[in-house]
Amino acid sequence: MFNSLSDRLTATFKNLRGKGRLSEADIDGTAREIRRALLDADVAVPVVREFIAKIKARALGAEVSEALNPGQQVVKIVNEELVGILGGDTRELRLAKNPPTVIMLAGLQGAGKTTLAGKLAAHLKGKGHTPILAACDLQRPNAVNQLQVGGERAGVPVFAPHPGISSEAETPTGDPVQVARDAVSEARSKLHDIVIIDTAGRLGVDQELMRQAADIKAAVGAHETLFVIDSMIGQDAVNTAQAFNEGVDFTGVVLTKLDGDARGGAALSVAQVTGKPVMYASTGEGLKDFEVFHPDRMARRILD
C-alpha cells in the first residue's frame, strides 16, 4: 500500500530503471495516478485535464537520467509544473510608492474575508507597518462588529461608518464606496501606511455586489485586490474565480480554511484559470493561523 502520490508514481516505474526514455505506455499508468491524486485533492476537472496533457508532453521522451529513476523524474516534472502554476516564488505584497497602500479583500460570503482582514493586519503590523482596517461590508449584519473584534485582537484601528454598532441584528447603513474613500483619507491624515478594506460578499456570485467591489476598487485605486476563497469550495473554484477575476480583476489569491480536510486543490484550480498568484493562506480561526503562501510547500502537500 502506497500512501503518497510520489510513492505511487515511483512505484509505477519500478521496473523501468535504465530503460533509456520514457514511453507513452509508461506514462499512461502514471497519468492515471496523477489524475486520481489531483481529483482527490479537489482540483477542478478541466484543470486536471490540462495539467495531465502538459505532464505527458514533458515526460514523453524525457531522458532517464542516471541520478533519478523514471518515477522520481516524473515526480520532479509534476512538482515543477505544480509550483509553476501556483506562481513560482512567493509573491510579496506590492507597496505603493506614496502611502497608504490600499489592499481590498473580495470573495463570497463565508469565505473568511473578515477573519483574514484581522490576521493580515496583525501580520503587517508585525512587519513594522501601521495598518488600518476599513469596514465596507455593510451587507452582513455582524460584519462591522466582527471586524472591530478582529482589529482589537490585532491591535489595529478600524474605520467604520457607525462607530459602536453593537446589535447583531442591526445592519449598518451607508455607502461602502464613501466609507472606503474616507478610510483612505483617515489613513493619510493619521499616517497609517496600509489600508485593508473588507467588502461584502454573497453566497453566490452577485452582479450588484461585484459592481460595488469594482466601484470601491476604482474609487480608492486599490494597489492589491485579494480574492479570498475557501479551500473547501471544490469544483466551484473555477467558476467563482473566473467571475471575480472578470468582476474585480484581482491581483492575488488568499486560500482560507486550509486547516480542514481540503488538500488545497482549489489553489491549483484558481491559479491555473486566472494566472494570478496565491499569496497567503489562512489555517484556522485564530489571529496567528495565517501563512505567507509557498508554492513549493503546496505542491508537496498535493504530492504527499
- Which residues are bridge partners to 264 per DSSP? none
202 is in an annotated binding site: yes
If one asks whether residue 73 binds ligand GDP (CB under 6 A), the answer comes out as: no
Report residue 197: phi and psi, to 5°: -100, 120
Q: Show the cell assigned to 146.
A: 466582527
Instruction: Please select the residue that binds ligand GDP; options are 12, 114, 139, 145, rule is CB under 6 A.
Output: 114
CB of 261 to ligand GDP, least distance (A): 11
Looking at residues 160 to 219 of the shown chain, list those that interact with ligand GDP (rule: CB under 6 A). Answer: 201
110 is in an annotated binding site: yes
CB of 143 to ligand GDP, least distance (A): 6
CB of 210 to ligand GDP, least distance (A): 15
Looking at residues 135 to 154 of the shown chain, list those that interact with ligand GDP (rule: CB under 6 A). Answer: 146
For residue 64, give Cα distances in angstroms to 17, 21, 22, 47, 244: 8, 6, 7, 27, 43
Across 11-162, the runs of DSSP E, i.e. the strands, are 101-106, 131-136, 158-159
DSSP conformational letter for 209: H
217 is in an annotated binding site: no
- Residue 182 DSSP SS3: helix
Instruction: Please select the residue that binds ligand GDP; options are 72, 79, 90, 109, rule is CB under 6 A.
Output: 109
19 is in an annotated binding site: no
CB of 288 to ligand GDP, least distance (A): 11
Binding site for ligand GDP (CB under 6 A): 107, 109-115, 146, 201, 256-257, 259-260, 282-285, 289
